[in-house]
Amino acid sequence: MAMNDHNAEMSAGGEPKGGPKFDRGHPLSIFVKDRNEDMSALLFAFLIAMSGIIFFK
Amino acid sequence: MIYTKKSPALLIIGFLMLVWGGLNANGQLDGLQATLQKSAHSDHVKVNEKYTAELRVATEMAQSEGKPAPEMKKPESKFDHAKALQTKFGYFFGGVFALLGLFILVWKPTKGNLDYYISTVPGMAFILIIACVVRWGLDPMFTNWGKAVKDAGILTWDFAKIFNLNYVVLGIVLGIIIVNVFKIPEWAANGVRSARLFLKTGVILLGTLYSAAELAQLGIMSVALIGVFVLGSVGLVLFMGRRMKCPNTMTGVLSAGLGVCGVSATVAASPVVQAKAGEIAYTIGTILLWGVGCMFLFPTVGHLLGMGPVQFGAWAGTGILNSAQVAGSALAFDPNGIETLKVAEIFNITRVLFLPIIVLWLAAWFVKHEQGAEKVNLGQVLVAKFPLFVLGFIAMFALSSTGAFAPPGHYQGKYFSSSEVKEDKLLKPKEVRALEGEVSKMRNPAETKALQDLIANRKMMTRDQGETLKSVAKIAGLDAVAAGAIANADKAATHDSKIIKNFRDWLAWLFAFGLIGLGMQITTAAIKQAGGKPLIIGSVVGTLKAVGSLVVVLMFVKEFV
């Protein structure tokens, strides 16, 4: 299975039956497209790390 | 397409969280909280009793001197802190969710960004309220049950600890139950999809817990021994998975779980190889079952072969897959000594510190094989497809190693520092006198020097001396006050970084959230789809690792550890 197809399948709900479905075609799908999801995760982690350093140092 | 579903669910969740916050603030849940947080509550009672007694003495003294009663600030116990946190959490999220819930009910959604983002909130709130139930309810409840069953003598071991019935496993299980019994409600579907984002954020933060300096302190031979087995296991699983035509996603996540150390490695590697929720559950199930089997088998084999504490610790730390079971096995082998447990933990830590290398390896391996063609330029594919969050994990590991969050030699935020020992934590004269009476019992010059330094400075001076004296504390016939003094001095010199403690709290929430969401995608069909092959691979690699490490430990460990 090509990687992109796999991403698409994962993004569409991850599992064949019973799992939640999601329209992966939306241009703002930050939670779906892998690179965007990664960037969001990096941003969140960076904010948590910075807040930790500022408030707990 | 309109994503937001009209439903009162978010409003109800918000209301429930506000009620929870309010009841906590008014102390109406104190009875329930005391049952759930047993040890924190018993500390709380002690702190209160001490405070009341001190206040009474101070008041009486003031009255006898004709002064007004003094004002003393009541110290905040862990129990108070936990309650305050739950109150704030309930008010904040409850308020936000209730407002947004009302908004969803009265708003006519139109196609666009606002509709898209609002549509994810009810699902996130749904997972969050379940995460609260797991973290504040089920997790402590199972911990209490595990201890109670052990204390009652029904079992000789703590089942909650051994089966890892903590928020990680309980979160996944609860998610699985919800999706298979009730199905995911439509209004929650979009939010449930966001679980992987939070899991990735958690994995990036996981990098802050480890440091390269800790790895360097462990000794070349233990690193080499572990390295061979960790990398060998990962390589073998990847090879067997390809040969047996398992999906790369399944093979990748299984290799991390079997190679590094169980559940946390599985969670860290799962987004790297884009593992499906069912595959993650399958891997965790395989590791836990295999680990529990090893936990009972290893001590028996160890005793049959007449292994020493160091040998057994090295074997358990290398051959058993999951951290809790490594500790369980070491304690089962040697319930009274700490030597076996210490060695096993050193080997276990070494194994965990290989995680960044494995994550990088798997990322490159997955990208290459999922492209399915050796002809493609690996460099180009890596640039285009390499999971960026892995770089975040590596960057956090690098930052953590430079001492950005805690002194460079820390492990999960814990570090040794003699200079940070507070004045009131220095050894008391009674403890010093007890130690002075034990100098003649030291078995070698290193122990004598360590004890003399401790007596002279009234605190532990170096980490090595701390380790030496901890084994001294186990000498038969050593005065109980002296042994207690060593334990106190070691505790006083071991510090916990506030920053990393904060990260650990975040991690717990991010993983709880992410794993409940993942659990909600594990259907029975998904488990069936994974098939029996991973179990075969797991059994073969697990057996080879256990037997191989036993042979190597028996041959070499005596000489170099």
Per-residue model confidence (pLDDT) at position A26 = 40
Question: Over the stretch B440-460, which tens digit does the pLDDT of each residue have?
Answer: 888 888 888 988 999 999 999
Please determine, for residue B131, whether its predicted confidence score (pLDDT) is greater than 60.
yes
Nearest Cβ partner for B197 among A13, A40, A56 = A40
Question: Over the stretch A3-53, which tens digit does the pLDDT of each residue have?
Answer: 333 333 333 333 333 333 444 444 334 444 556 778 888 999 999 999 988
Question: Over the stretch B270-294, which tens digit does the pLDDT of each residue have?
Answer: 888 888 877 888 888 887 777 777 8
Per-residue model confidence (pLDDT) at position B377 = 59
CB-CB neighbors (< 8 A) of A1 in chain B? 247, 370
Distances (CA, A) of B554 to B264, B326, B558: 29, 18, 8
Q: Output phi, psi for B411, to 5 deg.
A: -135, 120
Position B32 confidence tier, pLDDT thresholds 50, 70, 90? very high
Nearest Cβ partner for B197 among A17, A31, A55 = A31
Distance from CA of A19 to the nearest CA of B (A): 5
**A27 interface with B at CB cutoff 8 Å:** no
CB contact (8 A) between residue A55 and residue B278: no
Per-residue model confidence (pLDDT) at position A31 = 44
Distances (CA, A) of B539 to A34, B60, B196, B315, B543: 33, 70, 29, 18, 6
Q: Beta strand B414-416 with B494-496: parallel, antiparallel or unpaired? A: antiparallel
The CA distance from B378 to B380, in Å, is: 5
% of chain B with per-residue pLDDT over 90 = 16
Please determine, for residue B188, whether its predicted confidence score (pLDDT) is greater than 80.
yes
**Concatenated DSSP letters of B9-22:** HHHHHHHHHHHHHH
pTM surpassing 0.80? no
Average pLDDT over residues B11-29: 95
Per-residue model confidence (pLDDT) at position B106 = 94
Average pLDDT over residues B169-190: 86
CB contact (8 A) between residue A6 and residue B249: yes
Position B515 confidence tier, pLDDT thresholds 50, 70, 90? confident
Query: What tokens does B300 get?
Result: 């028996």
Residues B557/B310, Cβ–Cβ less than 8 Å: yes
Average pLDDT over residues B86-112: 93
Position B215 confidence tier, pLDDT thresholds 50, 70, 90? low
Per-residue model confidence (pLDDT) at position A21 = 44
Average pLDDT over residues B414-428: 87
Distance from CA of A5 to the nearest CA of B (A): 10
Neighbouring CB atoms inside 10 A of A21's CB total 12
Query: Among candidates B210, B145, B533, which has minimal Cα distance to B356?
Result: B210
Please determine, for residue B379, whether its predicted confidence score (pLDDT) is greater than 70.
no
CB-CB neighbors (< 8 A) of B399 in chain A? 49
Question: Over the stretch B75-84, which tens digit does the pLDDT of each residue have?
Answer: 888 899 899 9
Residues B232/B547, Cβ–Cβ less than 8 Å: no
**B4 interface with A at CB cutoff 8 Å:** no
Per-residue model confidence (pLDDT) at position A12 = 33
Amino acid found at B399: L
Position B385 confidence tier, pLDDT thresholds 50, 70, 90? low
Query: Among candidates B494, B450, B515, which has minimal Cα distance to B173?
Result: B515
Please determine, for residue B485, whether its predicted confidence score (pLDDT) is greater than 80.
yes
Nearest Cβ partner for B190 among A22, A34, A39 = A22
Least confident segment among A16-30, B364-378, B390-404, B479-493: A16-30
Q: Which of B67-71, B215-219, B277-281, B301-305 has the highest mean pLDDT?
A: B301-305
Classify the C-alpha dihedral B25-B31-B35-B39 as positive or negative.
Answer: positive
Distance from CA of B502 to the nearest CA of A (A): 7
Query: What tokens does B523 get?
Result: 């259907």
Classify the C-alpha dihedral B360-B364-B369-B370 as positive or negative.
Answer: positive
CA B424, distance to chain mean position in Å, is 31
Per-residue model confidence (pLDDT) at position B496 = 87
Amino acid found at B264: S
Q: Give B474's contacts (C-beta < 8 A, 6+ positions apart).
A: B337, B338, B339
Interface predicted TM-score of the whole assembly (ipTM), two decimals? 0.74
**A47 interface with B at CB cutoff 8 Å:** no
**A54 interface with B at CB cutoff 8 Å:** no
Rg (CA), chain B: 26
- The full set of domain ranges for chain B reads 9-138, 198-413+498-560, 417-495
CB contact (8 A) between residue B3 and residue A1: no
Residues B229/B375, Cβ–Cβ less than 8 Å: no
Average pLDDT over residues B289-303: 82
**Dihedral (Cα; B54, B59, B65, B67), 10-degree rounding:** 130
Mean pLDDT of chain B: 84
CB-CB neighbors (< 8 A) of A3 in chain B? 367, 370-371, 385
